[in-house]
Amino acid sequence: MTQWGIEVEHLRKEFDGKPAVRDVSFTVGAGTLLGLLGPNGSGKTTIINCLTTVLTPDGGRLLVDGCDVTGAPEQVRARIAVTGQFAALDEVLSGRDNLMLFGRLLRLPKRQARQRADELLDRFALGDAADKPVKAYSGGMRRRLDLAASLVVPRPVVFLDEPTTGLDPRSREELWQTIRQLRDDGATILLTSQYLEEVDRLADRVVVIDAGRVIAEGTGDELKGRVGGQVCEVTVPEPNRAAAREALRAFSGEVAEHGEHLVVPVSRPAQLVEIVRLLDDRGIEIDDAALRKPTLDEVFFALTGRADETADGDERAADGDAGTTGRDGERPAGAVPAEGARS
Amino acid sequence: MTAAAGTEAGLGNLVAQGAVLAGRNLRHRATVEMAVMFVVFPLIFVFGFLLLFGRLFDARGLDYGQFLPPAIVAQWMFTVANTSGAASAADRASGMYRRCLVMPVNRGAIALGRIASEAVGAFVAVVVISLTGHLAGFRFHGGVLAACGFVALAVAFALALTAGTTAVGLSSGDPAAVATLLNLPYLALIMLSTAFVPADAFPGWLEPVIRNSPVSVVIDALRSLASASPSWVEVRGAVVWVAVLAVVFGVAASRVFRRAR
Ligand SMILES: Nc1ncnc2c1ncn2[C@@H]1O[C@H](COP(=O)(O)OP(=O)(O)OP(=O)(O)O)[C@@H](O)[C@H]1O
Ligand SMILES: [Mg+2]
Q: Are A53 and B94 in contact (CB < 8 Å)?
A: no
The answer to whether the beta carbons of residues B226 and B141 sit under 8 Å apart is yes
The answer to whether the beta carbons of residues B169 and B85 sit under 8 Å apart is yes
Best residue in B2, B31, B97 for a mutation probing chain A (most A CBs within 10 Å): B2
At A39 the three-state DSSP class reads coil
CA end-to-end span of chain B = 30
Q: Backbone phi, then psi, for A172, in 5-degree steps? A: -65, -45
Tell me whether A170 touches chain B (CB under 8 Å): no
Instruction: Identify the pLDDT of residue A68.
Output: 95
State how far the Cα of A9 lies from the Cα of A7, in Å rounded to an integer: 6
Pairing, β A230-235 against β A261-266? antiparallel
Q: Are B103 and A88 in contact (CB < 8 Å)?
A: no
Best residue in B1, B102, B107 for a mutation probing chain A (most A CBs within 10 Å): B102
CA A293-A298-A299 angle, 5° bins: 90
Q: Are B94 and A101 in contact (CB < 8 Å)?
A: no
Q: Which of B1, B16, B95 sits opposite A88 (nearest CB)?
A: B95
Instruction: Identify the pLDDT of residue A297.
Output: 63
CA B172-B107-B244 angle, 5° bins: 65
Closest residue in A to B6 (Cα–Cα): A78
Q: Give strand pairing partners of A9.
A: A61
State how far the Cα of A83 lies from the Cα of A89, in Å rounded to an integer: 11
State how far the Cα of A316 lies from the Cα of A320, in Å rounded to an integer: 6
What would the mean pLDDT of A250-275 be, rounded to a whole number? 81
CA A226-A230-A232 angle, 5° bins: 120
The answer to whether the beta carbons of residues A82 and A155 sit under 8 Å apart is no
Helix (H) or strand (E) holding A166: none
The answer to whether the beta carbons of residues A184 and A150 sit under 8 Å apart is no
**Most informative mutation of A42, A161, A195, A199 for ligand 1 (most atoms within 8 A of CB):** A42
Assess whether pLDDT exceeds 90 at residue A280. no
Instruction: Identify the pLDDT of residue B38.
Output: 73
State how far the Cα of B206 lies from the Cα of B199, in Å rounded to an integer: 9
State how far the Cα of B10 lies from the Cα of B17, in Å rounded to an integer: 11
List alpha helices for chain A, DSSP H: 44-51, 73-77, 95-105, 110-123, 139-150, 169-184, 196-202, 220-227, 241-251, 271-281, 296-304, 313-323, 337-342
State how far the Cα of B74 lies from the Cα of B30, in Å rounded to an integer: 21
Q: How far lies A54's CA from each of A25, A246, B103, in Å? A: 19, 50, 10
Q: How far is A325 from chain B (nearest CA, A)?
A: 33
The answer to whether the beta carbons of residues A44 and A36 sit under 8 Å apart is yes
Assess whether pLDDT exceeds 90 at residue A27. yes
Instruction: Identify the pLDDT of residue A333.
Output: 33
Q: How far is A92 from chain B (nearest CA, A)?
A: 7
The answer to whether the beta carbons of residues B74 and B222 sit under 8 Å apart is yes
Closest residue in A to B105 (Cα–Cα): A105
State how far the Cα of B40 lies from the Cα of A316, in Å rounded to an integer: 56
The answer to whether the beta carbons of residues A232 and A263 sit under 8 Å apart is yes
pTM: 0.82
A85-143 pLDDT tens trace: 998 999 999 999 999 999 999 999 999 999 999 999 999 989 999 999 999 999 889 99
At B55 the three-state DSSP class reads helix
Tell me whether A155 touches chain B (CB under 8 Å): yes
The segments of chain B whose pLDDT lies below 70 read 1-5
Q: Are A75 and B7 in contact (CB < 8 Å)?
A: yes
Q: Are B98 and A54 in contact (CB < 8 Å)?
A: yes
State how far the Cα of A53 lies from the Cα of B261, in Å rounded to an integer: 10
Query: What's the CA-to-centroid distance between A77 and ligand 2, angstroms?
Result: 20
Q: Quickly count: other Cβ atoms within 10 Å of residue A251's Cβ.
A: 17
State how far the Cα of A271 lies from the Cα of A228, in Å rounded to an integer: 11
Closest residue in A to B29 (Cα–Cα): A92
Report which protein residue has its CA nearest ligand 1's atom 7: A15
Q: How far is B41 from chain A (nearest CA, A)?
A: 23
Q: Quickly count: other Cβ atoms within 10 Å of residue A296's Cβ.
A: 18
Residues, chain A: 343
- In which residue ranges of chain A is CATH 3.30.70.980 found? 230-292
A307-327 pLDDT tens trace: 544 433 333 333 333 333 333
Percent residues over pLDDT 90 in chain A? 50
Report which protein residue has its CA nearest ligand 1's atom 24: A40
Tell me whether A185 touches chain B (CB under 8 Å): yes
The answer to whether the beta carbons of residues A190 and A48 sit under 8 Å apart is yes
Tell me whether A85 touches chain B (CB under 8 Å): no
Closest to B14 measured CA to CA, from B5, B22, B2: B22
Chain A residues with CB under 8 Å of B27 CB are 92-93, 97
Closest to A237 measured CA to CA, from A289, A311, A302, A166: A289
- The rounded Cα A175 to chain-centroid distance in angstroms is 15
Between A343 and A290, residue with greater pLDDT: A290
Closest residue in B to A77 (Cα–Cα): B104
Residues, chain B: 261
Tell me whether A82 touches chain B (CB under 8 Å): yes
State how far the Cα of A44 lies from the Cα of A40, in Å rounded to an integer: 8
Query: What's the CA-to-centroid distance between A40 and ligand 1, angstroms?
Result: 8
Between A181 and A303, residue with greater pLDDT: A181
State how far the Cα of A336 lies from the Cα of A60, in Å rounded to an integer: 9
State how far the Cα of A270 lies from the Cα of B74, in Å rounded to an integer: 82
Helix (H) or strand (E) holding B210: helix B207-212
Tell me whether A132 touches chain B (CB under 8 Å): no
Topology of the domain comprising A230-292: Alpha-Beta Plaits (3.30.70)
Upper half-sphere CA count for residue A126 (Cβ side, 13 Å): 32
Chain B residues with CB under 8 Å of A79 CB are 2, 5
Chain A residues with CB under 8 Å of B175 CB are none
Report which protein residue has its CA nearest ligand 1's atom 14: A43
- Name the residue ranges covered by the structural domains of chain B: 2-259
A227-258 pLDDT tens trace: 666 788 888 888 878 888 888 887 777 788 87
Q: Backbone phi, then psi, for A63, in 5-degree steps? A: -125, 135
Closest to B65 measured CA to CA, from B74, B52, B76, B78: B52
Query: What's the CA-to-centroid distance between B105 and ligand 2, angstroms?
Result: 24
Topology of the domain comprising A4-223+308-328: Rossmann fold (3.40.50)
B206-233 pLDDT tens trace: 999 999 999 999 999 999 999 999 999 9
Query: What's the CA-to-centroid distance between A314 and ligand 1, angstroms?
Result: 8
Q: How far lies A89's CA from each of A193, B3, B230, in Å? A: 21, 25, 48
Chain A residues with CB under 8 Å of B9 CB are 74
Q: Give strand pairing partners of B36.
A: none
Q: Which residues line ligand 1 at a C-beta cut-off of 6 Å?
A: A 15, 20, 38, 40-46, 85, 194, 313-314, 317
Closest to A77 measured CA to CA, from B151, B157, B7, B134: B7
A189-220 pLDDT tens trace: 999 998 877 888 899 999 999 899 999 898 87
